[in-house]
Amino acid sequence: MTSDSMARQPAGLWAGPMNASGDRRGRRGRPDWSDIAFFVLLALGAGYAIDVYGHFMDYYETLILLGCVALFSWMGWLWRPLRALMLASGLTALLAIWLYSPTGSLLQGDLSHVESVFLLKYLISSQSAVLWMCALFVLATVCYWAGFAVPTFSWVGSVLTWGAVYAGLTGLLVRWREGHLLGPDIGHVPVSNLYEVFVLLALITALFYLYYERRYATRALGGFVLLVISALVVFLLWYSFTREAYQIQPLVPALKSWWMKLHVPANFIGYGTFSLAAMVGFAYLVKAHGETRGVKPLIPLFLLGAVLCAEPFMFGSRELSATWMLFFGAGALIVGTILAFRAPIAQRLPALEVLDDIMYRAIAIGFAFFTVATILGALWAADAWGTYWQWDPKETWALIVWLNYAAWLHMRLMKGLRGAMAAYWALTGLLVTSFAFLGVNMFLSGLHSYGEL
């Protein structure tokens, strides 16, 4: 199905009529029986966890668990596919827990079962599920781009992306269980190291894209957004197998805090939406220059795209690396091919107004969550180190990221920033965000240097 044919579907399919900007806004009525049933199911699960494992949780962790029940119920009501995803991944994770230990006890089980149980070994152990996530994301990227020639492939790309998100979320949930099987002092929420947050970042970026894909009734952006996710996948695979990062390790003392359960997810919602906005900005520039067939404006676009592709090479090693030289070459070739075929690609992309609107909404959401994450980080620092701010490299770069997107939003809301300038700025912002995420850990030392390459 092409973007145009999707736009001609009945309004009910996409939960609301399309306005002038191409935005199909759904109007939710009161929660129905399924929403209530979902809330009751989550509440029962939380009650069971508190009753059986409450002695492992402090007061704040109990409040976080109860808050998640309300939050996930609300999110499932706003966007029904998210509810189906949570149910599917949750049930699959429970199956894995049962396979590890039929008694279902948090402190009992045998990780050696992963070698003897087919489903664990090949499908739903944490490492297997994450590998499936990686494979499905790469296949989805290929299908989205093939969809520009054969529209049916775009639909396949959407299905594969949902499958990748399902596999990745299941992998994180099962990894949480596997950590506790190693020991009660080892198990932790799986958002504590580079391996885990790379998976989290890929999932968040993909979920926000899928939301906008449905909201704006277009799949033409999938190829662009999945490019940055595929780059994350390549980095994740390299990091996993060269550094054995997939192994579950005990937390360092500074991370043994309930603050992490709030700070890290909020932070990576910001990173994910900023990445999404950057790729939408890339699509905007391809659309704009594809329609005008400009040549000179594409030169800085190509150079910026090449730098973005080369960035993991620079982070991965300070010496020449065949892996990252190959990655850089492939990335530059992909960017160059997109620019060479910008005219036919531009015809399939949504209107410039729609791309601009998605870019703005993604940055606005990311900025809000990143602001919350920064405040939570300051409170966590005060609790752990006795001071809210120490100008640690990670804190300094977090401030730079915040100021960058604060300036972008200010210029848009107060000065009417639109068009190519906003897109270039969003694309450049990905460099700033990436250095705050990875570069600080690679090149600068500080209190936040928990993940190293």
Whether residue 316 is predicted with pLDDT greater than 60 in this model: the reply is no
Whether residue 212 is predicted with pLDDT greater than 90 in this model: the reply is yes
Whether residue 352 is predicted with pLDDT greater than 90 in this model: the reply is yes
Whether residue 10 is predicted with pLDDT greater than 80 in this model: the reply is no
- Tokens standing for 8? 């001609």
pLDDT averaged over the chain?
84
Q: Is residue 12 part of a domain?
A: no
Whether residue 232 is predicted with pLDDT greater than 70 in this model: the reply is yes
What is the rounded CA–CA span in Å between residue 131 and residue 142?
Answer: 17
Q: Which helix (H) or strand (E) holds 322?
A: helix 322-340
Q: Is residue 208 part of a domain?
A: no
What pLDDT does residue 374 have? Answer: 94
What is the mean predicted confidence (pLDDT) over 296-310?
52
Whether residue 219 is predicted with pLDDT greater than 80 in this model: the reply is yes
What is the rounded CA–CA span in Å between residue 133 and residue 126?
Answer: 10
From residue 222, alpha-carbon distances to 94, 165, 255, 409 in Å are: 31, 14, 35, 25
131 HSE (CA, 13 A, CB side)? 12
Q: Is residue 361 part of a domain?
A: yes
Residue 85 vs residue 289, higher pLDDT: 85
Highest mean pLDDT among 2-6, 247-251, 293-297, 445-449: 247-251
Residue type, 23: D
Whether residue 19 is predicted with pLDDT greater than 60 in this model: the reply is no
What pLDDT does residue 300 have? Answer: 54
Q: Is residue 176 part of a domain?
A: no
pLDDT digits (tens, 9 = 90+) for 108-156: 777 877 888 899 999 999 999 999 999 999 999 999 999 999 999 999 9
What pLDDT does residue 251 have? Answer: 86
DSSP state of 122: I
Residue 58: pLDDT band by 50, 70, 90 thresholds? confident
Which residue, 4, 8, 5, is CA-closest to 349? 4
What is the rounded CA–CA span in Å between residue 172 and residue 246?
Answer: 11
Instruction: Kindly give the interhelix angle for 419-434 and 298-316, rounded to the nearest 10 degrees.
Output: 10
- Residue 24, beta-bridge partner list: 18
> Do 187 and 176 contact (CB within 8 A), yes or no?
yes
Highest mean pLDDT among 254-258, 339-343, 409-413: 409-413
Q: Is residue 266 part of a domain?
A: yes
What is the mean predicted confidence (pLDDT) over 240-264?
86
Residue 313 vs residue 265, higher pLDDT: 265
Residues 6+ apart with CB under 8 A from 203: 133, 165, 168, 169, 172
Structural domain total, the chain:
1
Which residues span the domain enclosing 437?
Answer: 262-453
Residue 255: pLDDT band by 50, 70, 90 thresholds? confident
Q: Is residue 163 part of a domain?
A: no
Distance of CA 435 to the CA centre of its chain: 17
Q: Is residue 54 part of a domain?
A: no
Whether residue 14 is predicted with pLDDT greater than 80 in this model: the reply is no
Grouping H, G, I as helix, E, B as strand and the rest as coil, residue 449 is coil
Whether residue 311 is predicted with pLDDT greater than 80 in this model: the reply is no
What pLDDT does residue 185 have? Answer: 78
pLDDT digits (tens, 9 = 90+) for 164-206: 999 999 999 999 999 888 877 788 899 988 899 999 999 999 9
Residue 261 vs residue 294, higher pLDDT: 261
**pTM to 2 decimal places:** 0.89
Whether residue 265 is predicted with pLDDT greater than 60 in this model: the reply is yes
Question: Is the backbone of residue 10 left (phi > 0), alpha (psi -120 to 50) or beta?
Answer: beta
What pLDDT does residue 106 have? Answer: 57
What is the rounded CA–CA span in Å between residue 221 and residue 67?
Answer: 33
Grouping H, G, I as helix, E, B as strand and the rest as coil, residue 250 is coil
What pLDDT does residue 74 have? Answer: 94
Q: Is residue 316 part of a domain?
A: yes
What pLDDT does residue 4 have? Answer: 42
